[in-house]
Chain A
Amino acid sequence: MTELPETTQRKLGLVIDLDTCVGCHACVVACKGWNTENYGVPLSDVDAYGADPVGSFLNRVHSYEIAPTGGGCSQTVHFPKSCLHCDTAPCVTVCPTGASYKRSEDGIVLVDESACIGCGLCAWACPYGARELDQVAGVMKKCTLCVDRIYNENLEEVDRVPACVRTCPAGARHFGDLGDPDSDVSKLVAERGGFDLMPEQGTAPTNKYLPPRPKDRLTAQAADSSSLTPIAEEPKGFLGWLDMALEAL
């Protein structure tokens, strides 16, 4: 049913560190790789090698530039974005067929593809662009939080995290229970001031973003070039003569 659960036992989600992300898109590729051959229909590509390629992705990395309010150097921020598994997910309640649902046990928002009619209304209802209608299968695709990895006892324990988290070479993605205040991810959010995207939409996202740390600034002393004192004395003796001779050439 598309009624949202009143509470969920756990709130599994991601914490994405915008300070650490280097924008390599490895998470995008790992996500596409895992999810095209596991849960649900493949993530199709259309005209993949042609002039106008389009494809379904569950995770995309945007890059932004911040022009600081007080002037100074701009700051580039790489910004991975996937489903935020919202507490009050608007994509779930609009679904007419019950294909979209939020699990009460762990808060993951999923699509039952066998019930999806491909009307696209859930994608309209999502402010984050987290849902894409697959252009070949005509069913809605979205991040499953790798539900087929995280509980999969056939995998090594180290692999029981979402593919994007497992692959991130920078350690910018963290997975855990954000409903538990003592979990590592919750502590990280508290410590670093994790925030919600577009909070004015009232979606109460589970996923949090950690802000980029402020850039180092030139101090007054470092900026003053006269403070650089010469470290070499005037040469004397043979080197003094060589210096004069070379100068005279």
Chain B
Amino acid sequence: MHPAPSVIIFTVLSGLGLGMLAFLGIGVLDVQGVAAFMPFAIAFTFTITGLIASTFHLDNPQRAWRAFSQWKTSWLSREAWLSAATLSVMGIFAINNIFRGITISVLGWLGAGLAMATVVSTAMIYTQLKTVPRWNHWITPIHMLTLSLAGGAILMQHTSAALVLLTCAGLAQLAHWRIGDRQFAARGHSMETATGLGDRGSVRMFEPPHTGSNYLLKEMVYVVGRRHALKLRCIAFVTIVLLPFLIVVALPGGTLTTCFAITIFGLGTFTSRWLFFAEAEHVVALYYGKRDG
């Protein structure tokens, strides 16, 4: 799948912001008034920047409001509702915290739940697609949720939570790669099933339908990243798990350490998310005989 920058920025940044909002909601940081302003500002900035980036993926964003209409069937529509609900509930929670100095914990817990539900709904947009076997597995939401929470814990400067969640995110990342690598073959999709001609023999491409490229090939048969996938996986794993873990453990806590840790973690998450798309193979590649790249 084509790794579109808008979607990568959207999922990574909103993931970080929503992870932090969840921690703020459950009251990990027990501060009111002016002291509460910065944490909320950071969490909202990440989340909203991510959500704005997502609209750059749309060719007709002026109609984006329509995306609220199909929540009964569409995960993308549910995500729109959940993100709007999270921002509203956490917005009220934050205003009460900052300007009135009171913590309405019921609202906070509700906001935290909504924030996590938003991350899951984002993941479900990918997980639901049977056409992309690598994504079509329950490990995908766990992978995105653990990354979101680990990022949130780093931003909250909560060392013990960060260490536990970084470990979980690392394990989920490894599981996502390991399971994902086997998914396409496990589903049994082949040029023979795609064309229905498998009972006669083996099928190979004789002539593609067009000499140039097309939307399908550009969007769903992206093969550029495959050559360096292993190196990028190593880079992603080191920067998502190992380096942030060492930074959080070894360096003295403080704003500078947090900035350093989240930058490294963010770069790792961007690499991981780029691979998430670039390595994902869509079954339509079979019709073009491009499965093996």
A residues with CB within 8 A of B: 1-3, 18, 23, 28, 52-57, 60-70, 75-77, 79, 81, 90, 92-99, 115-121, 123-129, 132-133, 135, 137-139, 195-202, 209, 211-212, 214
Contacts of B64 in A (CB 8 A): 117
B193 located at the interface, meaning its Cβ lies under 8 Å from any Cβ of chain A in the complex: yes
Q: How far is the CB of B198 from chain A (nearest CB, A)?
A: 9
CB–CB B59/A133 < 8 A: yes
B156 located at the interface, meaning its Cβ lies under 8 Å from any Cβ of chain A in the complex: no
Closest 3 CB pairs of A and B: A138-B59, A118-B59, A60-B209
Q: Provide the bound-state CA to CA distance between A188 and B130, in Å.
A: 31
| Of the residues B70, B189, B208, B218, contact of A96 by C-beta under 8 Å | B70
CB–CB B287/A3 < 8 A: no
Q: Provide the bound-state CA to CA distance between A46 and B76, in Å.
A: 29
Q: Provide the bound-state CA to CA distance between A95 and B63, in Å.
A: 13
CB–CB A139/B59 < 8 A: yes
Contact A2 to B70, CB < 8 A, known contacts A54-B213, A195-B196, A202-B130: yes
CB–CB A118/B206 < 8 A: no
Q: Provide the bound-state CA to CA distance between A57 and B217, in Å.
A: 13
Contacts of B202 in A (CB 8 A): 66-67, 69
Contact A64 to B63, CB < 8 A, known contacts A2-B73, A132-B214: no
CB–CB B196/A209 < 8 A: yes
Contact A123 to B219, CB < 8 A, known contacts A64-B195, A94-B74, A117-B60: yes
CB–CB B200/A197 < 8 A: no
Q: How far is the CB of A206 from chain B (nearest CB, A)?
A: 15
Residue on A nearest B68 in the bound complex, by CB: A96
What would 10 more interface pairs be, CB under 8 Å, given A60-B210, A61-B209, A115-B66?
A: A28-B209, A64-B206, A68-B200, A90-B130, A96-B77, A97-B70, A120-B219, A132-B216, A138-B60, A200-B189
B132 located at the interface, meaning its Cβ lies under 8 Å from any Cβ of chain A in the complex: yes
Q: Provide the bound-state CA to CA distance between A99 and B203, in Å.
A: 36
Contacts of B214 in A (CB 8 A): 54-55, 57, 132
CB–CB A129/B216 < 8 A: yes
| Of the residues B66, B70, B189, B287, contact of A128 by C-beta under 8 Å | B287
Residue on A nearest B2 in the bound complex, by CB: A120
| Of the residues B69, B200, B282, contact of A69 by C-beta under 8 Å | B200
Q: Provide the bound-state CA to CA distance between A109 and B202, in Å.
A: 32
Q: Provide the bound-state CA to CA distance between A76 and B195, in Å.
A: 13
CB–CB A127/B131 < 8 A: yes
| Of the residues B60, B80, B287, contact of A116 by C-beta under 8 Å | B60
